Structure 1
Amino acid sequence: MTDQIEISLINSLGAMPPENWDTCAAPGEGRPEDPFVTYRFLMALERSGSVGPGTGWQPSYLVARAEDQVIAVAPMYAKSHSQGEYVFDHNWAHAYERAGGRYYPKLQIAVPFTPVTGRRLLTRPGFESVGQAALVQGAVEVAEQNRLSSLHLTFCTDDEVAAGRTMGLMHRTGQQFHWDNAGYATFDDFLAALSSRKRKNIRKERAQAQGFGGEIVQLTGDDIKPDHWDAFWTFYQDTGGRKWGTPYLTRAFFDKLHDTMRDDVLLVLAIRDGRAIAGALNFIGRDRLFGRYWGCTEYHPSLHFEICYYQAIDYAIVQGLRRVEAGAQGEHKLARGYLPNTTHSLHWIADPGFARAVEEYLVAERAAVAEEVEVLTSYGPFKSTPEEEDHD
């Protein structure tokens, strides 16, 4: 059926009605499963200048139509660098260019600056298989026709990995730390599942953090005011400057977020003497909380752990969410109840010789990642058996 599907590219989501995109990206009623692929999130990136000219992220969204009906879409970008992706291929680029090739530009199907697992091949319900196939085929054809080096789908789902591998894409794995809700009614229920030493450490950290001299508040929806974004922008600039040199998002992005997505946001702020001194930005999905950015203007012991990790767990328990995803990297999350989970990406490389070399590397890397996840899980903070003795 893919030969009956029309594939097109658009360089702005403004070129299509929001409902056409969200029918594929956010089907169903209620809160979207994944807020990052919604029309309003991607448009916030566009309209704020966080992607587009001068950023190295040039929108080239894929749209698949059958009989004038949009059946599948994908957030695709032409990339002139490998920044803001969190599945690092810098070594691939260096190796290819040392061999005389040109790695950039490349194509990236991803949510910019967002290492969160979710659907990347967004299909209208009922068109999953044919839509995924059409999008992959269309993306590869775009790369071939424009003589681009490669195509990358990052932080995709298990189902997309299975479909992509059958279509000849190479599979890469990584790992992140996530907290899973085992039906806890309270934070103390979660603590009861931990070993005595880890439980005591978390209680100590929470008490230490709470002693910073102010209050910690959780804000969402209309409780978030414009001046809260002014404070958070200061935090984001500080952290972004230290991590990446230049923050990826513009100040205008947070204004767009406030206008269109504040109901999908949980902002956790530490406030002292009427002034926010630290904060964390989270996004709320249908059954997950996604921790994204943190920053502060003052250092206080354990405040980072409280605002980023423990407040997120508190919120997830109260709201009945099944998981907290705390972003990329950070083995320090392990002691705080966040366990390693495997992440996935798919890749296509035009040069056959280089593709073979990368595939050999990925076989070894997948084995190493699986071993790392197993080892780290064994060092987790949870009781080894339900009968393990506790000493509080």
Structure 2
Amino acid sequence: MQQTFHSTILKATLVASVGGLLFGYDTAVISGAIGFMRTYYHLSDLMTGWVASCALLGCIIGAVYSGTLSDRIGRKKVLMLSGLLFTISSIGTSLAPNLWIFVVFRMIGGMGIGIASMLSPMYISEMAPAAIRGRLISIFQLGIVSGILVIYFVNAYIAGIHNESWNISTGWRWMFGSGIIPAIIFILLLFTVPESPRWLAGQKRETEALAILEIINDSTTARQELDSIKGALKDEKSLSFSALKEPKLKRALAIGIFLAIFSQITGINTIMYYAPEIFKATGVGSDSAFMQTILVGIINVLFTFVAIKYVDTWGRKKLLLLGISGMAICLFIIGFAFFNEQKGYLILIAILGYIACFAMSLGPLAFVVIAEIFPTKARATAMSVATFFLWSAVFFSFPNFSGSCRNYW
């Protein structure tokens, strides 16, 4: 029975984490395409920044409404909606006849990102036993960084098919269109996993909830789990946004918002969105820039495993303190190098160190803590608020890096 327990929970976690893969894939695809799009559309520095960041407005919309929607129709259905939005966005951005149509479809994809960023870790937290919940939610972050790494490889492969002029006219469209494949896979996989038993119990569908719990537990334990869920849900309803002002929720909400904001304003998106342009600015060629970007993705994946391994033994706080301290040191080195107009591998080493520290701390643990700290009745609404602040922080701190980097060097 223990083997069945682990296999079912792990399968649900991995499928939900494909939402994270789409999150990372769709977020980072712009890194390989933006340079070619700038030339194709003759974009100014301001417009380059807008085209790269427009998806973030969709992320904010998706994050705000996904919690309430998932309370009404279920976690699985809304996750399927995110996969559908990814699919529509991939098709639309690859075939867009002009820049503004591209922006509209990019924002649609952003809505899918916002939904996945909030709902996938929440679904995992509601399926996972408390003893291994942190580890399983960290797998969602592994999905994100895996998606980033995959699209780095895809971008590099597409960019190498033909010459520069082909990339400018056509190659960037292939980069966006490639997202159709993982999006459809995600939708199909969701048909193979159960709905959250906690959500089903909250909808008074206790027979269905018990059936799912009996798949992952023996009958006695399943009944105990259901009774525990019913006890937690007793007299509880999903809260409105105004109800989050309750004193007992304010502290948890403040922590969630703080982590959400600081996980993004520490510079991670500068690297994830503009990695090839950063490395080109340090004096390497286009091909080398793409290969160094892949190296960033590999480090991101490898050090996420550190978080997965130690999050439930070392604790959230210790990993956060270690990682944030390392990030601060590496950012100081990067800033010092740019200020003194240094080129070469010092910047690469510092960036890799920064990515490693982020991947083992703020990257996965922001989602872990946000998914854990709210009571059941407030979880969906409060996570929507925290995720709204996360994507707002990304948007308002988003760098117009491509132009400033080129002018600087």
Higher relative contact order (CA 8 A, sep 6+): 2
Larger strand proportion, structure 1 or 2?
1
- Greater share of residues in helix: 2
